């Protein structure tokens, strides 16, 4: 760590993401909440109806998180430890739900299961299985298999080995994934609105209604404060649990740890395939709808929909999506890696939990609150960013950055401190230590973070639909737009665009996979 060495400490890198958060998150959110803070806001807090909404929000998010973790763990095992043909395809496939626009998934689930609480929980879990599988799988692939083999040869059962050796080692990643999934589910909007109707309301849908439709800013402010408080409480608990478990793990390359499953492992593999099959059901129903009645929808992608429903063609929207997601990913990687490096180098500082939590907050606050906050603050910046095309990648980066942190941080933290100390003893400065030790070891998870972040940015709908200009509309925005207009062609085109989005996602995931395989000096 080179404590006391002259020069810039890596901890200072943390200032970069903090500055970004301050301008594009804390300031706008603070401004809109302050605007609504008045006596009427207190009445909202005193209303028992508000607390029923809070309970339902947290309850459904906890249930969906549980489902996503239980379903995601076998898939994580499959991705991390199993060498069977077709793994690259499975890895790409589990990402698909994550990019699908909520409105389309909501419609698919309505078609399959109807409305109600269970479909809400399942749909939220559906989106997030990938988060668990990728985050946990990322660490799992690097765990030294020999510890487990030793436990086995000492007579421990497979289950005992899993609970006593593997699970504790996975806890940091599991905690990270669960926190992220919980935040996504607690703030999920489109799905709750579509499947819950007006009967099941969450903080997120209620904040949306009060802000966007009723302009009841005092009610919205009160609810936003409740939301932030709940989110912070969950994050602090999560960060505590993670840190208690942190230990330097011996990381290995994936090739060493993946092999053909043996014995009882086949059950886990079977469970993983069952989960993947369940994920495919709604996806398949969307693809089926896109070819319902021929390929008219696909041909329509080169146009702008029935009677010019759109300002861009389907292909232009796809290009917009790719461009915006690239910008957002690059920005999020810079911010997220800076933050992760700072968090690692501050590992013993007292305020680290607070910092960690602050960096995660954007995932837990309503996109509407942020969006309306932008309206009343960003005109103070030069160039009036409120109506600039640049705001979309900035807002997407706000969502992607916490994910990058969560993917990179567990790996960086589990790097043996002694490696860094050895490098420092040999005369390497802090930057050189980072470059020679951390970067090669975390390279794989960095790449995974880039790929995952890119996919998240591709699918981001809430902030993008609010901020995108008609000529810069992305695929999810275009899909949402098409299904909200009458006409058979629009509907067919929407589902074709959905399929296109899935194909792009799988292609991106496969390219990342290929790059990764080509990376020789990984360990």
Partner 1 sequence: MRRMAIALFALLLAGCSLSGDDKPGDRTVVLVTHDSFAHDPAVFDRFTAETGIRVEVRKSGDAGALTNQLVLTKASPLGDVAFGVDTTFASRALDEGVFAEYRSPAAAEGPQRYVVDDSGRLTAVDVGDVCVNVDVAALESRGLPVPTGYADLADPKYKDLLVVEDPATSSPGLAFLLGTVASFRDGWVGYWEKLRANGVLVVSGWEEAYTQEFSGSSGQGPRPIVVSYASSPSAEIGEDGEPRTRALLDTCFRQVEYAGVLANAKNPEDAGKVVDLLLSPEFQRTVPEMMYVYPAREGVELPEAWAKAAPLPENPATLPAAEIQANRERWIEQWRAAVQG
Q: Which lies closer to partner 1 via its Cβ, residue 141 or residue 209?
A: 209
**Helices within 351-390 (DSSP H only):** 352-360, 367-377
Q: Which lies closer to partner 1 via its Cβ, residue 135 or residue 290?
A: 290
Q: Which lies closer to partner 1 via its Cβ, residue 261 or residue 305?
A: 305
- What is the smallest separation between the CB atom of 289 and partner 1, expressed in angstroms? 9
- What is the smallest separation between the CB atom of 216 and partner 1, expressed in angstroms? 8
- What is the smallest separation between the CB atom of 372 and partner 1, expressed in angstroms? 7
Q: Which lies closer to partner 1 via its Cβ, residue 357 or residue 474?
A: 474
Q: Which lies closer to partner 1 via its Cβ, residue 388 or residue 421?
A: 388
In degrees and rounded to multiples of 5, residue 38 shows phi and psi of -150, -170
In degrees and rounded to multiples of 5, residue 251 shows phi and psi of -90, 140
- What is the smallest separation between the CB atom of 22 and partner 1, expressed in angstroms? 21
CA distance 171 to 462: 30
43 alpha carbon, distance to own chain's centre: 34
- What is the smallest separation between the CB atom of 258 and partner 1, expressed in angstroms? 29
CB of 176 within 8 A of CB of 445? Answer: no
- What is the smallest separation between the CB atom of 305 and partner 1, expressed in angstroms? 9
Give the single-character DSSP code of 11.
G
- Counting every residue, how long is the chain? 523
Tokens for 338? Answer: 């800076």
Q: Which lies closer to partner 1 via its Cβ, residue 324 or residue 357?
A: 324
C-alpha torsion angle, residues 294, 295, 300, 305 (rounded to 10): 30
Which residues would be at the binding site for partner 1 (CB under 8 A)? 103, 107, 110-111, 115, 193-194, 196-199, 209, 211-215, 306-311, 320, 322-324, 326-327, 330, 334, 372, 375-376, 379, 386-390, 392-393, 431, 435, 466, 469-470, 472, 481, 483-488, 491-492
In degrees and rounded to multiples of 5, residue 309 shows phi and psi of -65, -25
- What is the smallest separation between the CB atom of 387 and partner 1, expressed in angstroms? 6
CA distance 382 to 20: 16
CA distance 204 to 22: 22
Q: Which lies closer to partner 1 via its Cβ, residue 174 or residue 392?
A: 392
**Helices within 141-212 (DSSP H only):** 145-153, 158-161, 167-186, 190-196, 203-208
């Amino acid at each position: 760590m080179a404590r006391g060495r002259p020069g810039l400490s890596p901890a200072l890198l943390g200032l970069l993401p903090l500055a970004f958060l301050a301008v594009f998150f804390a300031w706008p959110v603070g401004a809109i909440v302050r605007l609504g803070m008045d006596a009427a806001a207190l009445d909202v807090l005193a209303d028992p109806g508000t607390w029923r909404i809070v309970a339902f929000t947290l309850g459904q998010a906890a249930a969906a998180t549980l489902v996503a973790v239980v379903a995601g763990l076998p898939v994580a095992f499959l991705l991390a430890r199993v060498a069977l043909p077709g793994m690259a395809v499975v890895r790409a496939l589990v990402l698909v739900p994550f990019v699908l626009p909520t409105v389309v998934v909501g419609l698919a689930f309505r078609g399959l299961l109807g409305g109600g609480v269970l479909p809400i929980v399942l749909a939220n879990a559906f989106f997030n299985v990938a988060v668990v599988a990728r985050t946990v799988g990322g660490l799992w692939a690097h765990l030294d298999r020999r510890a487990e083999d030793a436990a086995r040869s000492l007579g421990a059962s497979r289950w005992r080995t899993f609970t006593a050796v593997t699970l504790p080692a996975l806890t940091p990643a599991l905690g990270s994934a669960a926190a992220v999934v919980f935040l996504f589910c607690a703030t999920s909007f489109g799905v709750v609105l579509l499947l819950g109707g007006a009967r099941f309301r969450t903080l997120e849908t209620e904040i949306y209604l009060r802000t966007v439709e009723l302009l009841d800013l005092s009610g919205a402010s009160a609810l936003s404060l409740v939301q932030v408080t709940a989110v912070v409480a969950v994050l602090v608990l999560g960060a505590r649990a993670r840190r208690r478990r942190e230990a330097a793990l011996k990381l290995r390359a994936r090739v060493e740890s993946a092999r053909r499953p043996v014995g009882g492992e086949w059950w886990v593999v079977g469970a993983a395939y069952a989960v993947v099959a369940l994920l495919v059901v709604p996806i398949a129903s969307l693809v089926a709808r896109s070819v319902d009645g021929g390929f008219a929808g696909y041909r329509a992608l080169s146009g702008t929909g029935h009677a010019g429903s759109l300002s861009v063609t389907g292909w232009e929207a796809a290009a917009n999506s790719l461009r915006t997601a690239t910008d957002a990913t690059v920005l999020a990687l810079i911010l997220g890696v800076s933050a992760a490096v700072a968090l690692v180098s501050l590992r013993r500082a007292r305020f680290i939990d607070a910092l960690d939590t602050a960096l995660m907050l954007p995932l837990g606050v309503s996109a509407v609150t942020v969006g309306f906050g932008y309206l009343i603050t960003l005109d103070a910046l030069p160039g009036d960013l409120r109506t600039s095309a640049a705001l979309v990648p900035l807002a997407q980066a706000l969502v992607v950055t916490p994910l990058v942190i969560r993917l990179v941080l567990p790996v960086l933290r589990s790097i043996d401190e002694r490696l860094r100390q050895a490098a420092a003893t040999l005369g390497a400065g802090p930057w050189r230590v980072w470059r020679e030790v951390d970067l090669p070891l975390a390279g794989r998870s960095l790449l995974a973070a880039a790929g995952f972040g890119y996919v998240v940015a591709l699918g981001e709908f809430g902030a993008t639909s609010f901020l995108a200009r008609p000529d810069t509309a992305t695929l999810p925005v275009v899909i949402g737009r098409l299904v909200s207009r009458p006409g058979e062609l629009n509907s067919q085109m929407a589902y074709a665009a959905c399929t296109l989005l899935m194909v792009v996602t799988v292609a991106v995931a496969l390219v990342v996979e290929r790059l990764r395989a080509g990376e020789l000096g990984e360990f």
